[in-house]
Amino acid sequence: MPRPRHPLSRRKAALIGSGFAVALTAVPPLPGLAAEPRHGADVTLLDTLTVPAGTSAFGMPFGGLSGIDYDPGTDTYVALSDDRSDNGQARFYSLGLPLDGGRFATATPVVHGLTVLSDTNGKPFARKTVDPEAIRWTPTGSLLWTSEGAANSGQPAFVREATQSGGYLRELPLPQAYAPTKSATGALVAGVRDNQALEGLTLSPDGDRVVTITENALVQDGPAASLTAKSPSRLLVLDRASGQPQAEHVYQVDPIADAPTAPLPPPVNTYAADRGVSEILAANETDYITVERSFASGVGFSVRLYWTSTLGATDVRGRQALTGREKAMPRKLLYDFTGSGIVPDNVEGITWGPRLADGSRSLILVADDNFGFNGSSTKFHLLSVRRDLFTLHTPDVNRDGALDAKDLRAIPHGGPAGDLNGDGRSDGRDVRLWNAYTHEFPVA
């Protein structure tokens, strides 16, 4: 959703204002690849831009992009690398991805700047002390970002706030249930799973709430996704000002899409397969788009976008462990890259982009190249979303946590809450949009 415009740092503003940008080097970039519209009118894949592995910018590898967010005020993106300070320092980039109609206007992203992240001591992160995964602008111009940590070595996941220059501001505390806990034998018995922690991060449209989601279930909540089992991830809502939990819900991750058919390349040499939530994006106060990414060695990546909501889902806030009887968040498949003619690669980031000429909203997805391991490359996907698919505000107009006739009756006198289409009025158009919502995504 659009956020209030914030100032760029003086360095970045000067770079962008002067037209300065770094040309990506080392490997010639491939041109954008247009695709035929797929899957009807709700979500359409328009274009894909590929940056080969081995590309560099500002003296470091341009890769590992696992989070992305768009600032409509400056028409720029911030993209976070998941480099654990192995290939370069933990960092994020300022990017331009100009559009020309329904496709990317350039064959490569325009890299405006690189910013190194600082630890709590104001120093760049030491090697393997951080695993950056998701990033978002705040309404005040700072940045929120997550790290998966390393549960097997006792390194916790976190949500932190940073300045535009990468400096540490604060950490938003996570509930105790997320802390990695080991038994006397060294086995994880509670907390986030290793390499399956906080992959996703988004803010509510007003910027007051921070929402993060685990890639798979906490150890004490249930199994990780397998070929035959779903995994109950947790979606956590935090108050941005205080950092206190406001709600928590269960999101069921689908089973792994494919069995592995070949081992990973050296030095790994093992068969591997997994599935998890790699990112989340707010559509309104209760509805979200999730990215579920499945991988199997020898097969590749399967990527799906889902529409999900907290409406009707059990609030599990404060529970150390799930019982299995909780009502999970409802969801609906929005887009499946299978059959699109495009290899999606390792999609780990999603953001709303500029409004398109036909009035539809754009989605920008970014795929992590894993720094060239197993043949991956950085990709940016441009998708369009039908403009009246999502309501601007939650269809739970009276904010009682349920979707029913009371909300319909509340629309005419609901003020801004009843203005579901954002035209400044609460009228019959909003009533029709409410009815369309319950038809498209029945959560009553």
Q: Closest Cα to residue 443, out of 328, 330, 332?
A: 330
Confidence of residue 387 (pLDDT cuts 50, 70, 90): confident
33 lies in the same domain as 94: yes
The pLDDT of residue 443? 77
Joined together, the tokens standing for residue 296 give 């199997």
275 lies in the same domain as 240: yes
273 lies in the same domain as 146: yes
417 lies in the same domain as 385: no
Q: How many CB atoms lie within 10 A of CB 339?
A: 8
Buried b or exposed e, range 43-53, using 16+ CB within 10 angstroms: bbbbbbbbbbb
pLDDT in tens, 199-240: 999 999 999 999 999 999 999 999 999 999 999 999 999 999
216 lies in the same domain as 75: yes
Q: Which helix (H) or strand (E) holds 428?
A: helix 428-440
State mean pLDDT over 185-197: 96
The pLDDT of residue 33? 37
CA distances from 201 to 42, 144, 197, 317, 336 (A): 24, 8, 11, 18, 21
Q: Which phi and psi angles does 3 have, rounded to 5°?
A: -120, 155
Q: Answer whether residue 29 is part of any domain.
A: yes
CA distances from 155 to 182, 274, 407 (A): 12, 22, 45
d(CA 90, CA 116): 6
Residue at a domain's end among 348, 364, 390: 390
Q: Is 168:119 a contact under the CB 8 Å cutoff? A: yes
The pLDDT of residue 17? 35
The pLDDT of residue 304? 98
84 has pLDDT over 60: yes
Domain that holds residue 111: 10-390
Q: Out of 97-101, 333-337, 417-421, 435-439, which region has the weakest mean confidence (pLDDT)? A: 435-439
The total domain count for the chain is 2
- Give the CA count within 13 Å in the CB-facing half-sphere of 63: 27
Q: Answer whether residue 300 is part of any domain.
A: yes
The pLDDT of residue 442? 79
Write down the pTM of the prediction. Answer: 0.91
3-class DSSP state of 126: coil
- Cross-strand pairs, 443: none
Q: How many CB atoms lie within 10 A of CB 184?
A: 6
Joined together, the tokens standing for residue 171 give 């950490």
Confidence of residue 41 (pLDDT cuts 50, 70, 90): low
Joined together, the tokens standing for residue 302 give 């399967």
Q: What's 152's domain CATH number?
A: 2.115.10
Q: Answer whether residue 290 is part of any domain.
A: yes
Size of the chain in residues: 444
435 lies in the same domain as 302: no
- Cross-strand pairs, 135: 145
H-type helices in 129-203, by residue range? none
Please state, rounded to an integer, the average pLDDT across all residues of the chain: 91
Confidence of residue 16 (pLDDT cuts 50, 70, 90): very low
Q: Answer whether residue 3 is part of any domain.
A: no
| Residue 236 burial (C-beta neighbours within 10 Å; 0-12, 13-18, 19+) | buried
15 has pLDDT over 70: no
13 has pLDDT over 60: no
88 has pLDDT over 50: yes
For strand 60-61 and strand 300-309, is the pairing parallel, antiparallel, or unpaired?
unpaired
Residue at a domain's end among 390, 406, 426: 390
22 has pLDDT over 70: no
